[in-house]
Structure 1
Amino acid sequence: MDTKELSSTHDGRPYQLQVSADGGTVWLNGPDGSAVGRFSKRFGIDVHRSGTEQVQGLGECLFCTHEPAGLKEWSLFVAALREHYGVEVCKEVLVFDDEVDGNA
């Protein structure tokens, strides 16, 4: 598993990006240690509020699809992380076999 440390452009707080060894899944962990983002080629997109915010009653999903995801969905995931957390994820973190129709 590959791990990168990132900072929010909104407030400078630290985030951790993890990529699975097979390149099929990416997680973004927030400052409180909870997973706030997951992109899976097999299972889709989950962008959630932090565990701390959920305990405060703010709900869970900010942007979720729960369907297989390809290149188009990866771009949406990257944009959602930028919008909600101010985290810039390099689009090249994942490689897609079939970039024509967006299904990997």
Structure 2
Amino acid sequence: MRCFFHAPTTGINWRRAENKNNSASGYGVLLSKNQHRESTILEGYFKQLGMSGEELQTAVQDFKTKRATQAKEKEKETSYQNAQQEIVRLKAQVLYCIVS
């Protein structure tokens, strides 16, 4: 049994739709509207919780700072583990040279 997929072509100007989707201005406007909508929703939610705008800004800044600090700590830990592995590898190489 063979299955074929036929894309609907009637009533749609694919090239014009593609240009609209790919245009930087159209995408930028859409992205801007979406971000504005998200921030409005979040603002309303936090206002319901009793947070002021300043408290919200402080909370967001604290979160970003904490996230950046955690990323730096993870990077340090990874570097430390890589250094430890390199030390083990070099010790093994030195021991092999001594024994040989």
TM-score for both structures, normalised by structure 2: 0.17
